[in-house]
């Protein structure tokens, strides 16, 4: 069964309305809801007094229409009585100010009192719903991740450091606290990196981010344990925030969950200069979420309308909600839950629109998703159990992202933008990509790209070396291998532990100001046709030590010096790209590389058409998505079956703007 | 007598200088001063020790030259001894930080200790000056209105809510506190919306703004009561801050005053991209202030020179000070008091220039105003008792402005800018406008415009319906009728309670990003000549339910769908404008509408020439103001008398740049 | 001996590395290091336990290679144990928040406890190193100057005011506290100007800046006294921050030091729109530092590579480090110490690059400076004892800079930019300039320029008058003479006390908005060829009272009215420039003026070539510096000796890009 539904808040509407909502949901083909995510006030109206009657009634009303539920543990928003009685639970912000009541996520993740209250409500919920057939699983909390700097966290951070380093001598050594006279002689002296403390020691700052990540992981694990105990057969997930969020180590947060789910808002916030997120950025979000556990995922909040808090985003154009939801499926979603069912008339998210407007009458958006519900009845079985297969991986490192948050290196550098450029070049060629942890198994990939792998420990360096040794192709970009685990700069020529595998060292580097014009020209024989591409942000001037020079700089005092190199190493090879660049640089380079490595695209298609695939055993499913507003002609493979209308494809077909086709390979053939 | 004078601070200058100041004032035709506004330190040098001798002497020196005084109660700036002894009086800012000493307006408006000290100084002042013939009235405090978030205010806010809602159940219901688990179970749990609380519940946030407004109204009323008791025959006013200020509900603040006065600074602050406020914005300020009590007003601070605190504004050009002052009169001012007499050599407002520079010698600005003083001796009698009459009203709603502060809906939306666009279109046609409260009587207006009437209660909706029913013409713009009194979105298709009178509903809306190009084209028969106008910020896609379509959108997926409609309702009609636009949109629409309604301009005049009128019984006074730098030819009505030179107008005359003429209709004829 | 070396932090590197560092330093021609600047943690690992063994060893290792040391007193960065035990030492920032641990310079300069700890460590250091031959002197603290607003500072500020004013009456009078009711009746009422206090009284705010400056001067003096006592023969300096820094009165801070040194970072921070600081701004920095004591100086931190904390600046181009260091010498540096020797692998300044990269291997930058070390062996003797001689002085006033920080007058006005424009016009003509205090002796200068001499006391005004009376030429620009010592506006027509010497008064002024176009046209006979120059920021409309009009405004209502005047006064003359302008205005004016005064350039040279001179008795040294990237032809004086290659110059020579020549006049001739 493909899970299809909406996030629903019955507590925000009169009970008399519930049957109508359930009826409309069923009519739209819905079979699942997420419920009770922010309902602590309703579940525990005063300390220790629990009330699940209203929720039982809501679940029943829905179940009568064949709809099951995932329940949210309500800990993302504690009730007023709790926070009034225990004001020391409020988070302390980086600027040194205490959060006050009025929004959500105001809690310190390490506070023992909050842990106590969490245990009680989660236990009560879990025990109550352990045997309710309407409930199939749980979402823990909501979009976790605000850093807290309170005295409790400071003390826990000191404990965490004790465990990590054992002795102050070790910690002082790896942080290099001789700098600026910061040698700590007692664990209690160690501060948290408040903004009032100024630019911190990079080692301390990175460890604090790791500590906060571990704090949320532990807070979630406490809930996981309680739920597993009471409801061993239920699914457990958390709603993640995609590729763009970098406050927590998502690999750690996903580890013990059954399932990753995430919140996909292509037009979710107000976007400067563009109305919606570009399709490649959405695709990167999906592939990153799929990579957290290397398995299919859900979209727990799929955009349902204009969104915003104090402001309202542009409205999704006709077809977009459906197209975005199918894109989620194309990249591995096994469940689509729209946020939200009906737009709230009250509260901070008054303008975060659901499928229904405030007035509750079905309109354009509801009808569009209702159509999709009908389609899924035809398509669902084919999707069932299918998954994405990729031969190319991008390594994504939260340690590196934390380090770049602390020291961006260049005012124009953004890790997320850089990775998006790299990904975009592959997306444009319809090449399937896995976005994985540097700790993940790389042996199945023909090509591994490690963009700006800034923080690099010896184990990962060794595994990358082995990957190349064994025949893999590795691509590195600037600022890789610069930092050790403690966020200290390595005591080696760059790229440090990867210099040998790359067959180069970095002789000098130049951090570019935005007004400087620099570029790289491909000069290796056979590559000259790739021409010249703009260089941006950073230039490593390379000193080959065995590597072949693919491209050289064109300007300034290092004109003619090596910019991109290729090194044969063991049975494999390593490409070092010495500068950041726009998508065009990576398109040129990868265009050549995938040809050389014989990595085919899913399908050749015009610009604006995305083609993704899932495999159901040997059966290949093609999702051909037209992200443009105009009809596009696409050459489809012969003999594939269009799953919506059952017709067999034969060459060129026209796909309307913001529309798609889903094809399945003929059942007798393998892809 | 027309009141003409300056704001004067004798305490800031040596007593020996006072007679010279009084002499220069008299020579300029001055007959009034405002005094003692910030002189608490001088009046009560230590707790309970009052000293009014210096003020008595200053009043006498002025009175010897025929000049009377309004006294300011000095509560806008408490003395150091008071604030040092009672530091809990300092306001707590929205960011959670306490104000500290060093400026002014640092007090919490609800603090009982501050109320005590206020009562004492105001009582002492009032009793001392009750029978001084030099004193004709009082200005309370100065430009009131900073929000305070201190514990006293929090507690008073909770009390205020108790009175408003009676029960927590009711309050929770109208705020919708089920959202994000905010159900309050004790009044003391309710927070104030500090910035550290994040985006607040819109209901709570709106009520807090109302509470702060009520707090200042009450604080002022305490002073009004004391003054009325001691000085029953004195005028009582407060100096308001025009149309642009939206921190308090000015209708409430004006209610029990005898007189509204305001502070008119056309070049008062540093203006990006323009040297001075545009004339239409100044005119809107005057009309808004006149509308607070629907009666004439004073300008208590009329700009007297370059202004600024840390920076200095461009200097007013020759003629501008006089022109601005006459514009004030044209719109209903019965008193003009220049701020300030002489530029302070000390203090924060060192660069807020008076008519005299720091050195105290008469210069260009003094001479210009002295000329005006001489003119007013000729013109004053004609102005006496005259007032403005308008057939068009704009409804201005502080509740809506508060709501838009909390949720602007679109990053480019500003209520004040939108209303200015609407007003500007009428100003450009020299059509007199009243700017009034939604609660005001509308029966005398042929046309009522309710721009973005966002928060709409049932009573106002009913009155608007009755107005149209009875034959009125109502114009609405987007985001009207969206919110109920509690700042919740109505449970109805938009524009909610006004949908029926407009004969439409809003099928969808699109909040525009700034890079999107959209426009409306007039398509109704007879309106096509109005052409196409740019749409901005927001588009309501209208579904007619009886209304005629006047204009349609031209772009995007809703091209061709209704944008502006006209509905016949009862004996009247309602126009719904579905998008915001620049002045040109309203000029096109109103150009057609005033012709249809037969609302004539005061006078047809070229661009840059403002023509306003006041009526002294049947006698019509025309103020023809040239706001441009160049001479302009204007066709004046025949037979009118130029009040400055006594000549009779006959057709076209040339008015020099930054100059004006004042005409009176022949006494035998009525206007 | 010319001092040449680097800032070195042996405590940050393994002891085994030290000999290699010393060897590389010696090979580069180094003879001096600065050491121990931030090593309090290492010197006093716990309260009262001192350890200098490691430093003794490091000094010995260096001394073995002939390298001596200046030691930093380590007070800019207290150890964790100190700050943890005494948290009230942390500075309170202007925004009211306490600094927390994690960076440096976190201390309150007035805190008695910090003074105690400072005395102990400085005494211990001084006594230990009094007789070490490796140590030649001391640098106190590091780049002092953050304002503190804590209760200790508030109390000390009140004491400071008592001393300054004697009575509250006097203080209230000069501050004009009648304004806004601020009359202080007890010293303890006086606040510090926290941001939460809003725009402060200008008198209080200026005095607070003076108080903070005096606080650091006193804190430094405490250290100076201890060092002089123990080490009477050692040099004592502090590392200043050049022209751009305006937090302290540097004339006061330099007074009792033996030597001024400063930190010269041409590409030190990330620069918007330009890669490096322009040469004239660097030259102004040197001339300002030389002017602090009117004697030669050191550069204690000469840029050694890309710099930055969280970001990395562009890398210095080949030749730049050497060129910048020679420019320092050309302007009077007698010591060059590069910051830093090797790039730190740890800590906040991980990206503040030294001569060596993190890995410690010599590279391009090291080789460039090694070349300079070799050159200095040839050139050093000629430089020995030489100094700069200038006939033109610019008066730089910290009181005025403090006053402009408080009240910038115009949003586009920056004192530093204005002075740079004035200086640039002279720099472009290769005219030597001293930048001196208004209190300095002016008798030796043919031309004295006092740009925006805003705060002017009677003594300085009298000295300027005497200077002109005696035959000097004085140039003033707008906003001069506006304020008295207490930051009150003078009770006189502007330019106040200088009006008579200028033979003009300011009739009106116009603060320009950025979109206004105004210019000045030279109209005096003989000056018309100077043409028309843009006016910016401010226009004083001048009323001549004896002065000749040199230039008039061209636009707006004051077109044709005087903008620049020249007044003969006594045996001298005063030019009043009524507007700010770009460099071109001052180039036009000074071009005419230096011709008239017969002040010759050091050498005529093409744009981009700087020529500076030092005099060793009668021997003239010419530094001809090519700041461009391309070779430039320069006409050198005949018969001068090139000190690097010993050749004799004869006319035109080509200087490569980013290179220089140093010439000495023939020994028989005087310059």
Indicate which CATH number applies to the domain containing B635. 2.60.40.1180
Cβ–Cβ below 8 Å for C9 and A178: yes
The DSSP code sequence of B67-100 is -EEEEEP-TTS--HHHHHH-GGGBPBPTTSPBP-
Cβ proximity of A35 and A55 under 8 Å: yes
Selecting among B37, B44, B134, B143, the annotated active-site residue is B143
Q: Give yes or no: residues B365 and B401 share one domain.
A: no
Q: Give yes or no: residues B445 and B556 share one domain.
A: yes
Mean pLDDT within B62-84: 98
Q: Give yes or no: residues C400 and C335 share one domain.
A: no
pLDDT of residue A670: 43
Element at B522 (helix H, strand E): strand B518-522
Mean pLDDT within C628-633: 96
Lowest mean pLDDT among B97-111, C274-288, C509-523: C274-288
- The whole-angstrom separation of Cα B165 and Cα B483 is 18
Cβ–Cβ below 8 Å for C194 and B104: no
Share of chain B above pLDDT 70, in %: 98
Written as six digits, the tokens of B373 are 């003083």
- CA-nearest residue to B342 within chain C is C491
pLDDT of residue B669: 47
| Chain A contact set for C45 (CB, 8 A) | 183, 185
- The whole-angstrom separation of Cα A26 and Cα A7 is 14
- The whole-angstrom separation of Cα C21 and Cα A194 is 36
pLDDT of residue C401: 98
Q: Is C244 contained in some domain?
A: no
Question: Among A597, A625, A645, which residue terminates a domain?
Answer: A597
- Phi, psi (rounded to 5 degrees) for C623: -105, 115
- The whole-angstrom separation of Cα B280 and Cα B283 is 5
Question: Among A574, A597, A620, which residue terminates a domain?
Answer: A597
Query: Rounded to whole angstroms, what are the CA distances from B165 to A12, B171, B173, B184, C606?
Result: 20, 6, 10, 13, 81
Cβ–Cβ below 8 Å for B197 and A103: yes
Q: Is B165 contained in some domain?
A: no
Q: Give yes or no: residues C627 and C590 share one domain.
A: no
pLDDT of residue B671: 39
Task: Name the β-bridge partners of B69.
Answer: B33, B135
> pTM higher than 0.90, yes or no?
yes
pLDDT in tens, C308-319: 999 999 999 999
The CATH number assigned to the domain holding A156 equals 3.20.20.80
Confidence of residue B225 (pLDDT cuts 50, 70, 90): very high
Q: Give yes or no: residues A474 and A525 share one domain.
A: yes
pLDDT of residue A277: 80
Q: With b meaning 16 or more CB within 10 Å and e meaning fewer, what string describes B28-54?
A: bbbbbbbbbbbbbbbbbeeeeeeebee
Share of chain C above pLDDT 90, in %: 96
pLDDT in tens, B369-426: 999 999 999 999 999 999 999 999 999 999 999 999 999 999 999 999 999 999 999 9
The DSSP code sequence of B163-194 is HHHSSHHHHHHHHTTTGGG---SSGGGPPP--
Candidates B173, B182, B202, B205, partner chain A, best to mutate (most A CBs within 10 A): B182
The answer to whether residue B248 scores a pLDDT higher than 80 is yes
List, run by run, the mean pLDDT of 10-residue segments along chain A (671 residues).
96 98 98 97 98 98 98 98 98 97 96 98 98 97 97 98 98 98 98 97 98 98 98 98 97 98 84 72 98 98 95 94 98 98 98 98 98 96 94 98 98 97 97 97 97 98 98 98 98 98 98 91 96 97 98 97 98 98 97 96 94 95 96 96 93 95 78 39
| Chain A contact set for B411 (CB, 8 A) | 270, 311
Q: Give yes or no: residues C495 and C639 share one domain.
A: no
- The whole-angstrom separation of Cα B270 and Cα B221 is 34
The answer to whether C106 is a known catalytic residue is no
Q: Give yes or no: residues C468 and C552 share one domain.
A: yes
The answer to whether residue B203 scores a pLDDT higher than 90 is yes
The answer to whether A613 is a known catalytic residue is no
Question: Among C383, C408, C442, which residue terminates a domain?
Answer: C383
Q: Is C466 contained in some domain?
A: yes
pLDDT in tens, C193-246: 999 999 999 999 999 999 999 999 999 999 999 999 999 999 999 999 999 999
Task: Please tell me the distance in Å from B138's CA to the nearest CA on chain C.
Answer: 18
Mean pLDDT within B273-296: 91
ipTM of the shown complex? 0.96
DSSP A90: B
Residues 538-577 of B with CB under 8 A from A: 556-557
Q: Is C453 contained in some domain?
A: yes
DSSP A46: B
Cβ–Cβ below 8 Å for B189 and A84: yes
Query: Rounded to whole angstroms, what are the CA distances from B558 to B35, B226, B551?
Result: 60, 61, 13
pLDDT of residue A274: 59
Task: Please tell me the distance in Å from A152's CA to the nearest CA on chain C.
Answer: 16
pLDDT of residue B364: 98
Selecting among B134, B301, B465, B610, the annotated active-site residue is B301
Q: How many structural domains is chain B composed of?
A: 3
Confidence of residue C670 (pLDDT cuts 50, 70, 90): very low
Q: Is C404 contained in some domain?
A: yes
Average model confidence (pLDDT) across chain B? 96
Q: Is B110 contained in some domain?
A: no
Q: Is A37 contained in some domain?
A: no
The answer to whether residue B505 scores a pLDDT higher than 50 is yes
Share of chain C above pLDDT 70, in %: 98
Mean pLDDT within B139-156: 98
Cβ–Cβ below 8 Å for B273 and C176: no
Q: Give yes or no: residues C472 and C416 share one domain.
A: yes
Q: Give yes or no: residues B319 and B342 share one domain.
A: yes
> B364 — contact with chain C (CB < 8 Å)?
yes
Q: Give yes or no: residues C440 and C589 share one domain.
A: yes
pLDDT of residue B411: 93
From C577, C508, C571, C511, select the one nearest C549 (Cα to Cα): C577
- CA-nearest residue to C99 within chain A is A196
The answer to whether residue B622 scores a pLDDT higher than 60 is yes
pLDDT of residue B270: 57
Cβ–Cβ below 8 Å for B358 and C179: no
pLDDT of residue C669: 47
- Which residue bears the tokens 């460890």? A207
pLDDT of residue C274: 59
Q: Give yes or no: residues A92 and A232 share one domain.
A: yes
Closest residue to B196, CB basis, from A100, A104, A311? A100
The CATH number assigned to the domain holding A548 equals 3.40.50.880
The answer to whether residue C277 scores a pLDDT higher than 90 is no
Q: Are strands A433-436 and A333-339 parallel, antiparallel or unpaired?
A: unpaired
Written as six digits, the tokens of C6 are 């680097």
pLDDT of residue B277: 80
Confidence of residue C643 (pLDDT cuts 50, 70, 90): very high
Task: Please tell me the distance in Å from A53's CA to the nearest CA on chain B.
Answer: 16
Residues 465-494 of B with CB under 8 A from A: 488-493
pLDDT of residue B1: 80
> A410 — contact with chain C (CB < 8 Å)?
yes
Cβ proximity of C634 and C609 under 8 Å: yes
Candidates C170, C172, C181, C580, partner chain B, best to mutate (most B CBs within 10 A): C181
Cβ–Cβ below 8 Å for B181 and A306: no
Selecting among A37, A106, A134, A143, the annotated active-site residue is A143
pLDDT in tens, B479-494: 999 999 999 999 999 9
Residues 589-648 of A with CB under 8 A from C: none
- Range(s) of the domain holding residue A438: 392-597
Average model confidence (pLDDT) across chain C? 96
Q: Give yes or no: residues C656 and C539 share one domain.
A: no
Chain centroid to Cα A6, Å, comes to 21
Q: Is B481 contained in some domain?
A: yes
DSSP C489: B
């Amino acid at each position: 069964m493909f899970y299809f539904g909406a996030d629903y808040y019955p507590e925000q509407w009169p009970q008399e309305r519930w049957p109508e909502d359930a009826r409309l949901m069923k009519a739209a083909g819905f079979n699942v809801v997420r419920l009770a995510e922010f309902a602590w006030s309703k579940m525990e109206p005063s300390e220790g007094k629990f009330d699940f009657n209203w929720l039982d009634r809501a679940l029943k009303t829905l179940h009568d229409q064949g709809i099951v539920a995932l329940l949210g543990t309500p800990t993302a928003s504690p009730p007023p009585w709790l926070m009034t009685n225990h004001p020391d639970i409020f988070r302390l912000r980086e600027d040194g100010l205490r959060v006050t009541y009025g929004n959500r996520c105001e809690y310190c993740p390490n506070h023992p009192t909050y842990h106590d209250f969490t245990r009680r409500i989660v236990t009560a919920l879990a025990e109550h719903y352990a045997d309710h057939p309407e409930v199939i699983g749980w979402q823990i909390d909501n979009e976790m991740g605000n850093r807290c700097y309170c005295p409790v966290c400071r003390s826990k951070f000191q404990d965490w450091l004790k465990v990590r380093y054992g002795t102050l001598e070790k910690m002082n050594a790896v942080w290099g606290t001789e700098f600026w006279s910061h040698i700590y002689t007692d664990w209690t002296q160690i501060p948290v990196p408040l903004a009032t403390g100024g630019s911190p020691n990079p080692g301390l700052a990175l460890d604090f981010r790791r500590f906060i990540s571990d704090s949320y992981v532990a807070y979630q694990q406490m809930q996981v344990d309680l739920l597993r105990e009471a409801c061993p057969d239920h699914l457990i997930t958390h709603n993640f925030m995609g590729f763009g969020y970098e406050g927590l180590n998502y690999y750690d947060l996903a580890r013990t969950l059954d399932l990753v789910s995430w919140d996909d808002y292509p037009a979710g916030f107000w976007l400067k200069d563009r109305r919606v997120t570009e399709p490649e950025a959405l695709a990167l979000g999906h592939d990153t979420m799929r990579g957290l556990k290397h398995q299919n995922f859900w979209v727990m909040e799929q955009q349902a309308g204009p969104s915003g808090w104090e402001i309202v985003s542009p409205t999704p154009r006709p077809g977009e909600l459906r197209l975005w939801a199918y894109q989620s499926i194309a990249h591995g979603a096994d469940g689509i839950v729209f946020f939200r069912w009906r737009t709230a008339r009250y509260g901070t998210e008054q303008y975060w629109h659901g499928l229904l407007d405030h007035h509750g009458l079905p309109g354009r958006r509801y009808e569009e998703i209702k159509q999709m519900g009908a389609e899924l009845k035809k398509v669902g079985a084919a999707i069932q159990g299918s998954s994405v297969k990729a031969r190319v991986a991008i390594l994504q490192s939260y340690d590196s992202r934390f380090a770049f948050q602390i020291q961006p290196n260049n005012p124009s550098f953004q890790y997320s933008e850089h990775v998006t450029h790299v990904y975009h070049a592959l997306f444009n060629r319809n090449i399937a990509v896995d976005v994985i942890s540097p700790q993940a198994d790389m042996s199945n990939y023909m090509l591994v790209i490690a963009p700006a792998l800034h923080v690099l420990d010896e184990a990962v360096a060794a595994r990358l070396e082995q990957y190349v040794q064994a025949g893999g192709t590795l691509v590195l970009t600037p600022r890789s291998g610069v930092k050790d685990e403690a966020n200290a700069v390595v005591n080696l020529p760059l790229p440090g532990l990867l210099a040998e595998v790359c067959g180069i060292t970095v002789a000098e580097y130049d951090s570019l100001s935005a007004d400087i014009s620099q570029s790289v020209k491909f000069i290796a024989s056979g590559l000259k046709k790739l021409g010249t591409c703009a260089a941006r942000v950073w230039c490593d001037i390379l000193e080959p030590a065995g590597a072949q020079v693919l491209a050289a700089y064109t300007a300034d005092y290092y004109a003619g010096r090596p910019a991109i190199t290729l090194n044969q190493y063991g049975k494999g090879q390593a490409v070092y790209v010495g500068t950041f660049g726009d998508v065009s640089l990576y398109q040129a380079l990868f265009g050549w590389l995938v040809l050389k490595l014989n990595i085919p695209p899913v399908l050749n298609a015009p610009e604006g058409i995305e083609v993704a695939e899932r495999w159901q055993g040997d059966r290949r499913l093609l999702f051909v998505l037209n992200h443009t507003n105009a009809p596009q002609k696409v050459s489809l493979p012969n003999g594939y079956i269009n799953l919506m209308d059952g017709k067999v494809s034969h060459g060129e077909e026209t796909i309307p703007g913001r529309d798609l086709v889903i094809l399945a390979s003929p059942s007798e053939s393998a892809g």
